Amino acid sequence: MPSCVLQRDIFLMFPLALVKAKVQYGIFPDNFTFNILLDSFIKDENYKDAMAIVTEIMLQEGFDEVSTQLLSLYVMYKYLATKPELTWEEERNLGASLLLAGLKQANTVGFSSRLFGYALLGKVELHKGLRAVYHQMPLMWTPGYLKRALQLMENVASLPGEVKLCEEAAKLRLSSGFIAHLPSLPISIPKISILAAILQAAPTTEGAQQEDKNAEETPHPAEPEEAEMPRLPEYLNQFRELHSELQSLGKVESGSLLTLTTQLVQEKLPASEVEDIAKYQQRLKEWEQERAALLERERESREAARQELEARKAAKASA
């Protein structure tokens, strides 16, 4: 049996356990296996476990195939629709997955996912420190994730064509779990910009002056996330200007991210799956050829060893 088929069957029997312990077992799923797992969890409407698979894809940096990108984005927005209460680690994993999958899609869903990902990672950077963002993650260790979100908005404003930023990426219906760590923000607001919410968490002028006074009395080297805090009012003003500019340019999409992603999946996934199956069948043929070549090499080695042994016996008998 080819190794790819054996790998697929094993993962279907014990999916999450094997994916999370892949290093111990020495079995790393490929995109085709990941897609089968995602498809299975989607059919069962088990988006929590599907999100765990997306996290593993992100950690393995496996967003290479279009089908994997589409299924992962669909899973993430279906998972968010359940309004889960997320820990900061889960927010980081979600942000990284949205960012890395979004980077592979040069369309409204892709750019909106990048914005959402940068915002979540920026929140973690502010409240947990930069190391919490990049430690054991395929992410940059350069500070400034909120600044990158604003740069993305600026880039979209200057892009030609139909690329927009989804309003829901800026104004998501979030559960209190998303913004519970943001001070002085009213939880009761039904629609809130996650990026603006993080930026509005900046200390007041009076509070900032008091912090500056305390800092003078007790000097200490500024951490990267501490250096970002004073810039939050500037970031917030820039966010408002860019959001207004995007609206004036008609580059704000009113449809929900889940709806847009579902449409994208319906448009692109069938052709992508056909291509994936063709690649997989070709890979099977190559593996079969490799297996046949290894078996032939093993047969030749055994035959050579047998002939050598017989030659030694003949030489010994004639001595």
Summarised one tens digit per residue, pLDDT across range 36-52 is 999 999 999 999 999 99
Residue 245 confidence class, pLDDT cut points 50, 70, 90: very high
- pLDDT per residue as tens digits for the range 77-134: 999 998 888 899 999 999 999 999 999 999 999 999 999 999 999 989 988 889 999 9
Confidence bin at 151 (pLDDT 50/70/90) = very high
pLDDT band at 67 (very low <50, low <70, confident <90, very high): very high
126 in Cβ contact with 228 (< 8 Å): yes
Residue with more model confidence, 282 or 199? 282
What pLDDT sits at residue 194? 58
pLDDT for the residue 145: 92
Tell which residue, 94, 92, 115, has the closest CA to residue 103.
Answer: 115
Cβ–Cβ < 8 Å for 224, 217: no
Q: What sign has the CA pseudo-torsion 19, 21, 23, 24?
A: negative
**Token pair recorded at residue 154:** 């600026």
C-beta separation of 36 from 65 below 8 A: no
pLDDT top residue among 151 and 174: 151
Of the listed ranges 64-73, 114-123, 200-209, 298-307, the one predicted with least confidence: 200-209
